[in-house]
Amino acid sequence: MTDTLFAKIIRREIPADIVYEDDAVLAFRDINPQAPMHVLFVPKTPIATLNDLGEADAPTVGRLVLAAANYAKAQGVADDGYRVVMNCNRNGGQTVFHLHLHLLAGRAMHWPPG
Ligand code: AMP
């Protein structure tokens, strides 16, 4: 996997508005927010896309989802609700090829998504 913007954020080589970190996950505000709360959760392990996941990555993905859910609870948006999104490749709208989960909250989401 080639070096990505998110790998540089993880290494603190470029700035980001970091809101959460643990041994497996870093979370920071999206630079182009699509909701009042829009936070990206990225694994510190570099995985390009959902297509690249193997069985051994299951704990990493679990940590990613759990970190997002816990963050939503801690921020007081869990009861109202929120959306998590993981885009994969061109048709999914993925632009950064380091696995990430979008947490969107603070407004009612629409369905179907665009
Ligand atoms: P995706 O389209 O699913 O690959 O999501 C990539 C996201 O990264 C987009 O929502 C961008 O707005 C966001 N993004 C791009 N550059 C940065 C940055 N430097 N800091 C924070 N978010 C970024």
Q: What is the per-residue pLDDT across 28-79, written as a single tens digit (0 to 9) for each?
A: 999 999 999 999 999 999 999 999 999 999 999 999 999 999 999 999 999 9
Check if 4 has its Cβ closer than 6 Å to any atom of ligand 1.
no
Task: Provide the residue count of the chain.
Answer: 114
Query: According to the model, what pLDDT value does residue 1 have?
Result: 63
Q: Is the CB of 30 under 6 A from ligand 1?
A: yes
In DSSP terms, which residues pair with 25 in a beta bridge? 43
Q: From the alpha carbon of 34, which atom of ligand 1 is closest?
A: 10
Which two structure tokens, joined as six digits, stand for 18?
A: 């970091």
The mean predicted confidence, pLDDT, of the chain is 97
d(CA 21, CA 24): 8
Percent of the chain with pLDDT over 70: 99
CA proximity to 39, closest of 24, 19, 9: 19
- What is the model's pTM? 0.98
The enclosing H or E element of 85 equals strand 82-85
Q: From CA 96, how far away is CA 38, in angstroms rounded?
A: 16
**pLDDT score, position 2:** 76
Q: Is 100 a catalytic residue?
A: yes
